[in-house]
Amino acid sequence: MSDSLFLIGALLIAGVWGFYLFPSFFGSRRDAPLSSTEEFDRWTHFMADVQQRHYDRGSVTGRDVVRARRRRTIAVLVVASVGTLTLAYLRASVNWLLISLAIDGLMAWYLAMLMQLRNRRLQQAVQAHAMAEPLPVDQPQIRIVAGK
């Protein structure tokens, strides 16, 4: 019994450490702007795009349906993981613990896939933004606003 408690405790500690460490590995260093002006330009372009779109509160887009489906999938995986871990603890069963680990692995794979899709979508948006507004060659990069 003490070995299974030790294993569950070690898995719990590893999960907590993973929760805090993995975002730094999968962080958005590639998405980070090189300068604050690029970030400002990105946000102003995004806000101008949002202002031009027509918003209808009653309409549900395909993106909303996909988000709801992804939330349900994550919720089912979390409930299944907690449930199988609880069963493993209550019954002191290694089989249930292995099933719980398999569900945890599936959840980690699903979240990694979602982050990969998000990064790909952001990369496409950045490329589309870069191609949408080419900088004229004769216009200088830096403008002097107040000359003195």
Domain-embedded: residue 139? no
Domain-embedded: residue 71? yes
Which residues neighbour 26 within 8 Å (Cβ) at sequence distance 6 or greater? 112, 115
CB 110 within 8 A of CB 74: yes
| Residue type for position 100 | S
Residue 32 has pLDDT above 60, yes or no: no
Domain-embedded: residue 70? yes
Domain-embedded: residue 13? yes
Q: How many domains does the chain have?
A: 1
- Render pLDDT for 99-116 as a digit per residue (tens, 0 to 9): 999 999 999 999 999 999
Domain-embedded: residue 83? yes
Whether pTM > 0.85 for this model: the answer is no
Domain-embedded: residue 107? yes
Domain-embedded: residue 135? no
To 5 degrees, how large is the angle CA 101–CA 80–CA 114?
A: 80
- Render pLDDT for 53-98 as a digit per residue (tens, 0 to 9): 666 666 677 888 888 899 999 999 999 999 999 999 999 889 999 9
Domain range for 92 is 1-21+65-130
